[in-house]
Structure 1
Amino acid sequence: MIDDAHNALPQYVIDLRAWISDWYDHAFKVGFVRPPFMLDEAIADRLEGYFKAGLTPVEGAIAFFGTVH
């Protein structure tokens, strides 16, 4: 089945959504988050910044949840 709404999205949005999904999978796997995790606009903007900077989802999870020195 073809998802017309999904296919109408720009490739950037598709890639960003996949990146955030991988980010969440890793964050859950290592215990950074537990369901339900609410993705609000501030979190989404921060994650998009990590995506734009070229971080991997694993690096993004470490940056997001890491200790600030």
Structure 2
Amino acid sequence: MAENVSDGPSQDDSGLRAWMLAWYDHAVSVGFVRPPFVLNDVTAERLEGYFRVGLTPAEGAEAFFGTAH
């Protein structure tokens, strides 16, 4: 039996992409960053971790840019 392989992104990838866009929009709206913001691999992995543990994009922005105590 052949596995069903799609050419498009998986649902999880689409969710992560949407989350990162919302994260970016929030980060810009509260002044954490100014466009253009370049997302490197290390940053992308960190944000993916926030997504995977269930933070909202706003919570992810606060965690990313907030002061560590």
> TM-score over 0.5 for the alignment?
yes
Q: Paired residue for 1:25?
A: 25
Q: Match of 1:40?
A: 40
Post-superposition offset of 1:36: 1.1
The two structures have a TM-score, normalised by structure 2, of 0.89
More helix by share: 1
- 1:68 matched to which residue of 2? 68
- What amino acid maps onto 1:64 in structure 2? F
Letter in 2 for 1:58: A
Q: Name 1:3's counterpart in structure 2.
A: none
> Equivalent residues in 2 for 1:47-62 (5 A)?
47-62=47-62
Residue 26 of structure 1 aligns to a residue in which SS? helix
How many Å separate the matches in 2 of 1:22 and 1:36? 15
Q: How far apart are the structure 2 equivalents of 1:51 and 1:10?
A: 15
Give 1:62 shift.
0.2
SS of residue matched to 1:32 = coil
> Equivalent residue of 2:46, what SS?
helix
Structure 1 runs not aligned, ≥5 long: 1-6
- The aligned counterpart of 1:11 is 11
Structure 2 CA distance for aligned equivalents of residues 17 and 48 of structure 1: 9
Quote how far apart the aligned CAs of 1:20 are: 0.2
CA distance in 2 between partners of 1:35 and 1:29 (Å): 11
Deviation of residue 65 (structure 1)? 0.3
